[in-house]
Amino acid sequence: MDGSFPHRGLLALFLTVSLIAACGREHARVDHDPADDGRVDHAGAAGEAWPDAEACDLLPGDPLRGGTIVLALGEPVRATHAPVPTNDAERTVFANLYETLTVVACDGTLGPGLAESWVRLDDGMRWRLHLRPGAVFWDGSSVTAVDVVMAWSRDEALARATGRPCPGMWLASGSRGLAVMDAQTLEVRLAEPQDDLPRLLAHPALAVAVRREGWHWPLGSGPCRLAADTERPLPDLVCRPNLHHPRSPGWQQFIFRIRPDGDPRDRLDSGVDLAVIRDHRAAAYYAEIDGVQSTPLPWDRIYVLLVPPDRDLAGRAAALSTRQAVTPAESRPWDQFCFHGCGRATCPQLHGPTVGIVTPPRDPDPALTALEIRRLVHPAHDPDARALAERIVAFADTPLELQSADGPELAAALQHGSAGAYVVRLEACYPTACLTTAALVARADWLQRDIAEMSDARAAGGRLQAWQRAIPLVQTRPRLIWHSRLAGLALTHDGALLVAGLGRTAPEATP
């Protein structure tokens, strides 16, 4: 996906707002809608809790204030990616440094982020969002509506550069733009009603950050703050409380210990309070150690087998064989394209954005085509995906060769559908079945054509499975391990750890 379609998604919205933003930061304003009667939907209104919500209360209790807490993570974290995460470690770090306009909690309830409140207008054709009064970046500068719009533009560019479609792509096709009403208010104007827009805005790739001269990292407004001279983790990324945030942490400092190359069985070593692991060997190892506690985190990945049209691959037989596979992560068989509730709902996102934007190559080389269709492509650096792909190759009726790809290379391969099949990973970044299904079909032109006239996520998923275009394989999740007496940990809808409320329930030991 190259983003070259100016009538769709956030790209169109940015073009709409750019003339407004150029007129000045503090008082950029467009026409005020006289139909707005001042009715503001409270941002914290609770929705229906998800079926697995009981897994969200991991560390209950009342923490003490002060002290230093260390969380170990097993993947690299790069300032150049901020605030758009590319892996689980970045997802947790960025969720604490940067804010999205809304927040969907682990149990599925919708609450305020940078947006204090919002109002639904014109039956969902327009959404007006009011930023939190007093919200500031780490350098003390105010967060404005223009900052939000420009941050989303940079977020889209970052997402496309890493081959990850920006969530703004699932705004209804033909949307009319973003309007900056005043310094603290912006409006999203859609082409058709979209009732789940506030939940879409909780996607981590729509976090708000700004660049400032003299700062190594983009500045955020989250409860954890970095210093201007903070560089890349070596291996520690040290955060201080953001005293301007309404949920300012009680700890003195929080350290993200980044260890991408170490053995996960060494992650909870001396000085580390808690860690996240995916390796089943590490989980078994820590289960035998006295004083170490462990609990599964929410299910956050679904692996799917994608089979382009006209491929001679026994897709369903191969998929069924994977359900007996033992993958490195904790897993369970799964036959849906959603993480939480999978009820029927109207999904305007299924109508866009990818159909027709990729032109097949002219006069393809027959030899190259024959080579490509014998390949099963899987994400690089993902041991679970590779294990599943190896299982499919072993059971497939058609001879297949494994090939790994990542980032833009994988995104382009999916769009063109040149390989025999693909194992891809869906992540729990989208808090509704509509958005998750749209995120899947938007990755491949040939997938979206199969459900182009449909608007129901569950029915669309059923068709993709019946036609053997997309077959869910397994769902996986990581585990949290800890040995200190801790309380106050919260989780987002996609399993990122929110550490602002974390603390010890007993004083730190004195050396």
Q: Do residue 15 and residue 145 come from a single domain? A: yes
* Angle between helical axes of 315-322 and 383-395 (0-180°, round to 10): 130
* Ranges under pLDDT 70 in the chain: 1-49, 51, 165, 168-176, 312-329, 341, 343-345, 348-349, 351-371, 508-511
Bond prior to 83 in cis (omega within 30° of 0): yes
- Which segments of 111-194 does DSSP mark as H helices, in order? 145-161
Q: Do residue 409 and residue 379 come from a single domain? A: yes
Amino acid at 17: V
CATH for 227: 3.40.190.10
226 within a domain of the structure (yes/no): yes
User: What would the DSSP string read from start to end of 369-418?
Assistant: HHHHTTEEEEETT-HHHHHHHHHHHHH-SS--EEEEE-HHHHHHHHHHT-
Q: Do residue 86 and residue 229 come from a single domain? A: yes
Instruction: Give the integer Cα–Cα distance in Å for 466 and 454.
Output: 15
Q: Do residue 460 and residue 408 come from a single domain? A: yes
Of the three residues 208, 235, 253, the one that is the final residue of a domain is 208
307 within a domain of the structure (yes/no): yes
What's the pTM value of the predicted model, to 2 decimals?
Answer: 0.87
Cβ-contact 176, 189 below 8 angstroms: yes
Of the three residues 173, 208, 243, the one that is the final residue of a domain is 208
Q: Do residue 85 and residue 190 come from a single domain? A: no
- pLDDT tens for 281-338 read 899 999 999 989 999 999 999 999 999 988 766 554 555 555 555 556 688 888 888 8
Q: Do residue 286 and residue 378 come from a single domain? A: no
196 within a domain of the structure (yes/no): yes
Cβ-contact 196, 434 below 8 angstroms: yes
Q: Do residue 115 and residue 196 come from a single domain? A: yes
45 within a domain of the structure (yes/no): no
179 within a domain of the structure (yes/no): yes
Pick from 452, 394, 446: which is nearest to 419 by CA? 446
Cβ-contact 496, 431 below 8 angstroms: no
- Which segments of 4-60 does DSSP mark as H helices, in order? 9-21
42 within a domain of the structure (yes/no): no
CATH for 321: 3.10.105
278 within a domain of the structure (yes/no): yes
Instruction: Give the integer Cα–Cα distance in Å for 439 and 447.
Output: 11
Q: Do residue 131 and residue 261 come from a single domain? A: no
Pick from 265, 254, 441: which is nearest to 337 by CA? 441
Number of domains in the chain: 3
Of the three residues 162, 186, 208, the one that is the final residue of a domain is 208
Mean pLDDT of the chain: 81
Which token pair is 378? 């899987």
CATH for 167: 3.90.76.10
Structural domain that includes position 84: 55-98+214-297+478-511
Pick from 413, 429, 431: which is nearest to 421 by CA? 413
Q: Do residue 268 and residue 305 come from a single domain? A: no
Q: Do residue 91 and residue 236 come from a single domain? A: yes
40 within a domain of the structure (yes/no): no
